Structure 1
């Protein structure tokens, strides 16, 4: 019985989608606490431990970012392909609103960041506040239960997927080191072979994964970030295998890979000086980009699209709720921290960017919860009196 009291709540959290977000949050808190404790040096040194052989010698932190996170990006690629083929992005007109909202949600935060940092060495980090963490954002919506219309959840899911696609393109185009043409051509050859397999309707997945390992190696050595290999492999996977793979990968990614990513990438020593630097141009550019830029970009682009008559709001979704959704999309976390690692080489600047991401994401989450709660209350107060007083009819 005592064991059941522990297992049942965990199962309920898992089924509701809240557990993955809570594990990410817990991993972040643990990592920050240990990094600022008596075990700080040992903990930081642990992530710098080198593993591998020959051309594949990397630190543990790099194996998480360049190895395990490829699996995460592979799942992102599967999700993008599924949504384009038979999901929310199949109908272009239906997909137009989240597409425009996602573009606005990338452009405005980048603009706010550059407003503070243009012409400075930190300007290379312009993409840090442009990303939305889909796991955390949907987790926040799940906290409100039935108070959030189904259309709003669908809209956020589509927006976050498009946001992920834009993030992948940004990483490929703007955060690529000096290219090695030989390795790049080898990666292109393997990708072409994967496309041929798909066209020939070869369904034996081990062959795709074997070629995928080669694709990962050559992309890694080419100078393009290794995670792009995960997305490219996903785009060639047979359609009938997508949902099965997504289901198989959900738990390993949510309960192992992403928490490990949080542990490895939030090993930050926080000092009074670093907290004070949150008000520096870099800290403000990231924090305000997430907290203000995301809702302004998403809300503004959606408003323009609806007013222009090229799209319409989802059913039961008000502008007040769209504002709350925009704030919720300001939770950057996983992808924002990932881009921060790619943006800077100076450890101090990387740590400051990560702290700004954490603070900005936390404030965006709290503001989003508050606005969505108030929006629900406003809907209740505007409901017809006879409907509000109508007794519940039991079957």
Structure 2
């Protein structure tokens, strides 16, 4: 038995983890869904106007209160995008845009006080979108060819004032303005003095909050957490702190959790995994992970729609199936290869697929799959009940797969024809291969 002192120390360490879990269970995250923009940006095909018109009510039905309709601060603003057509369509037909955002760039103010709004700001006004994520850059590379720091400090208050003077917010209220530091992580790493100076300025301005990005997904989770902690120290509630994290090195969802633990209010992103590069920490994944932890606020979403909605949107954007091995939403995420891997509804930290509108399937792997998985896959392939496949036959199938691999035969048994052939061999052993005596073999 461990000593009392060592056991008390262990419990104290574990208690810290429990405190973090409890914080994540209590948080009611501020989410802005970008399924109408983030996902199609990096997709093989994208979305048409008709696609967007069909997607918007589905996002509303799922439960999103805050939805980005698109981006207006893109290159070559004179060449309109589908996002422009979409927002004009909503405006012209008086479709409710309450809670909706569009991304814009700041306008510039000259040294003599003359302010020139950015084309994206003019479009925001013309289209009647009530809220905006207003983007700035703070690193030297990010600001290059846009503005210097002095111009930015002079222009940002004027740009925010222009929005208040020209944009009608939700139900006539002032617009919600989130300042997104596109290169936020880079700027913190390069010059924390510059970022902190800008945060001091922002606390004096009429904004909703501040967002930072790791737009290449290269910063470690504890770095993101530290940057968020600094943001929170300058921006007390009710100011919002949000993050947007791309997949680069595989840290993205861990970085979001670190951000939340360090004071972030939420994230913005698309519902599916697809994003501008190879993926991002999506709002769908965050919702699923908070459900995993037992966060009661996730009940406001129609969770039974989460899996089918997220996967269908990605299929729409790519005209291609979701990657089989994608966590949470991929086809193989809930295809058992071994019964022991099953995530159960009432087990701590598990997320049963039915909770988010998915269901378990089966995938046969010759090295690990057990008789239960093989019976399940046979049932999928044949449409017959699992009980139709006797245990002694499925056990023989396990043995035959091992023998085949040892003899150098590499066979994809998960494929229906190969699986049925294996089943036939196990049901009526061929005289060309040694018979399997289950009783003596198991002994």
Specify if TM > 0.5.
no
Structure with the largest fraction of strand: 2
Higher relative contact order (CA 8 A, sep 6+): 1
Q: TM-score, normalised by structure 2?
A: 0.29
* TM-score using structure 1 length: 0.31
- When Rg is computed on C-alpha atoms for both structures, the one with the higher figure is 2
